[in-house]
Structure 1
């Protein structure tokens, strides 16, 4: 870590640019922002004339009904805009910046949703009293149509599904994300600044002389960090994984499920919803000895894997009861003290179970820890894991 700090400090001295002052944007730079904001003040659904044929009358009625349901449920307005947003626009083609500009001019909190000229959906919650996922409010299967030939395919279904996901999110204190993206000053999108000796002199020195030395330090630091980051994955092959390792695995499995989501597969969408809410329930940094958090993270892994399995299987197999991280159970069963005979994976059929059983940080077997997972056995006792999890989280 000391080496990494020195590298960062050196790079900062060599590469940091000085402050740059920008002139105020001219009045016409905000014309469309003001026009769309004024339209939203009259009607929360705005469809630009250039994209009027992408959503028919029936589709608009469905979207407005979903907006009304969601607004009544979350307690703040829902605004949906369907507008082109190319690189020549006032927001330089950045949808989140455009939505932030609308929020500033409309001066109202709410859920702001945008469909751009490519049929891609973006959403930003401003003051929404819900705990929304940190993995991206719009899942990849909802964000785009998946067919470049028909970018607006299923646009009504995708919008209503997004609003359903927001409505299903648990309540939390209102938060407003910081939009860290920025755009060049209006009229200077493609201009080049003259090279300044005060910057390029040290830069050239750093590139030609200090660069090779810094590269060597960076390579060594990267190797050390890479080895450190691989440790949690080695631990996950054991029967007593660390909470840190489970966080990494749960996040990776959840991202994989989000990448292949299919709105036409209800079982997959329900598994994703349950896994996402459960992951948020655990929080970003659970305590290293928290048994409940460890089992909830295992639950996220199981839900994500079963969600992917539901894309091709009507009834995915439950996970191995001895250790749900082993994957799907086979047909063979083993007897567990006080639990009966339950299905296990092929690797647990003919070996002593003590060394193969999943244990929480304090050493207890997972099935000895009271709670939702003891009751349902990660699907071995109650097959509908998503419903079991959503019910335990108080989500209808």
Structure 2
């Protein structure tokens, strides 16, 4: 053999060796099951080959496996072949997983991944389907708590509409969401507590307020009007006494019924109640797998253990089982989720597995999604507390490098765990971890408490306090308003001779009769009034003298008096009577002097032309009109009969001083009669 030929053969062997080493390295780095038929995508493709809708058994609290028929029913609405995977959100690696599943399934169609809350991914292969727009509509049109099935129903509805309508709907949903997020569809336990308290408050507060406000309103009306309500039973218009208690009782009965109809939600989640078969499905699957192999890796999750790591782990488990004080080791590489049967509690999961498997040993729970590792001893001569509390964090939770790695370095950490087990102290007697803390009942966890539960009863007491407080505040407000009104207006003089309402366009007969009654009443009251020692008020006499001056001292001349004189006599007589009674009547209403005494000053517009307002003394009714309908106040101004057109009273030379007060009117009468 020549040197050149020998060199060629040596080089060939070297190349073959390098290729062999590279292949071995690749095989060692490839996760377990990386063979074509043992990957996450291959497993899921096989399941879709059996049924186009696959629902995981790892989400029984949110999406029980028994909902497979519901998702299958909705999937038919898309109008295209649809393959649905319902998986934990962390287990679905997005579009890459869908592409891999499609390649292994070898069928075209719309591939959809649904997680525990929504439709998370969707891709169309070989068919026309607006998957992205449908995902956008689901995201923006429905609240986060609508549930995966309801969102998948909306997804299928949008896909069936076609590309053009789906795109328009997606754009509209985005625009609407920017201004107004969809309201939540379900309430939580804290919301139900608030509803119960509110119901209790209304049950007692509403009837109490009825019992207090019905009689109280009558008293308050009298206070605001400045008088005491009539108590004459013959004229009392109050309802029979039994009506108010009857209405209060009816309210106490009606409020609970109304609250029950309004707060009618019974669950805090759209998820149906899981059945026993749903809650045991995953446990049965894992226990069956551990009965065949002490290491069980979840086929629905990404692979995190290579073939070499699995081989090494099996070897370490066999060595530990043969060691002194050792025993079986069962490793479950399975996700721990809040929505699973154990509520994400590793200790409960291990306890249930031990019960299903019926074998003592060390139960290791490794989460392929989060990378956490927990160890529990069941029946071996190992220090259970040492395993529970002294396990290094580098094994339990990993380090920064483990957090960044896709496989969380679970293979290396499980190998370190086996070393820890080899060195862990032995005990004289077998030990078992205590019973785990119970998890929430998966069947009833979403049930809302009764509206009339524990929080309803404190609400009854709060309702009594609230009703009393509201009544007290209203009573205080009415008292304050009444006090202010009393200061701003004098007490009414006499409802018989001092009416607050008088015609705006009185006839001569009305003015004549009114002046006659008022003047005769003043004379009678003045003559019958008993002298009061020290009294210096001359208003009664001044008013009577001025009224008689207008008639030249003869009351019988009223029939010949003009309208202005009759109005002046009426105003003077009323002011005189008020003075005799010790009442304030210094000014009368400047809009219509026949309205009676002024109660306040107000800016008022008393002409139809222009917008100019004047500050006038007005009665209560004119004040209310000036506030509520200021443009109509001029229609209440007194006009005098006997002229065409009828003149306003201010146009009279005698009456134009009335806005200046009663004293000025007396002076004006004296000036007209040339009396000093």
Shorter chain as denominator, the TM-score bin is 0.3 to 0.5
| TM, length-normalised to structure 1 | 0.42
What TM-score results when the alignment is normalised by the length of structure 2?
0.25
